[in-house]
Amino acid sequence: MTVRELYDLLHLKISPSLSEIWDNDGLMCCPDPEREVQRVLFALDVTDKVVEQALRTETDVIISHHPFVFAKLGSLTTDTPVGNRLVRLIKEGVSVFSFHTRFDRVEGGVNDVLAEALSLSDVTCLGEGEASLGRIGSLSSPVSLAEFAQTVKHALGTPFVQVWDAERPVFRVAVVGGEGKDLIEAARAAGADTYLSGRLGYHAMQDAALNLMEAGHYFTERPSVSALESLVKALLPKVETEIYTPNPLTVY
């Protein structure tokens, strides 16, 4: 299967109609659309380390969640980090696909994976419009916020969580991977007693009527990279794959 053929199939399965209007994702870089896909590397972000790994292992396609190119490029030079990565990949004929908010929203994407990791049941979309990015479901039984925090740390591998304790037991949980402060009210309106996201922000977490938990942008989205790998494996069972998604931030 060629690069173009693989992208076209994924484009159908993760429809651009699901993307937020401000988003920029899809086919980010494609120097050789007719190249045969034998090796795919999956990452959360296309960082310098990811580019190095792709070139070292003779990867044909990098598939990321966060857009490789997000802001408009006024020029393509090696003077900027993104420009330098683009030039290096183009020279070696490596393509990049990115599936961002459409993969947040699609069935089986970022937020379904997050809900599954936390063992939520009866999971549905958080609401209509932008709120359909998120999910809401229930635990098997109510637990304390402290107990749920330990569950989250173990499930996501995050070194710590930050919480706003509304002094409510945790049972009905809403989740949004990544940046989720804009959906706090949607979570409350949907009947959640607890809302978990990657990042909510200091001011947004004060005086809420529900428990809030901030578990880290990277840690809430990293589990979904394996779902992208599974999609490709279903299309190309014999393709060589690797998940390589080091955290670009260090916690001391």
Buried-state track 57-84, b at ≥16 Cβ within 10 A, e below 16 = eebbbbbbbbbbbeeeeeeeeeeeeebe
Tokens 């936390």 correspond to: 118
Residue 37: predicted pLDDT = 98
Quote the CA–CA distance of 142 and 77 in Å, as a whole number: 55
The pLDDT of residue 250 is 87
What number of CA atoms fall less than 13 Å from residue 5's CA on the CB side?
Answer: 9
Which segments in the chain show pLDDT lower than 50? none
- For the chain, the C-alpha Rg in angstroms (whole number) is 19
Query: What are the residue ranges of helices labelled H in 27-91?
Result: 48-56, 81-91
The pLDDT of residue 70 is: 92
Burial 170-184 (b: 16+ CB within 10 A, else e): bebbbbbbbebbebb
Per-residue pLDDT tens over the stretch 44-99:
999 999 999 999 999 999 999 999 999 888 888 999 999 999 999 999 999 999 99
Contact in structure between 15 and 100 (CB atoms under 8 Å): no
Strand-strand pairing, 26-29 and 95-98 = antiparallel
Q: How far apart are CA 124 and CA 172, in angstroms?
A: 12
pLDDT of 66: 97
Inter-axis angle of helices 3-13 and 225-235, to 10 degrees? Answer: 120
Rounded Cα distance between 117 and 151, Å, is 10
What are the structure tokens assigned to 168, written together?
A: 């409510």
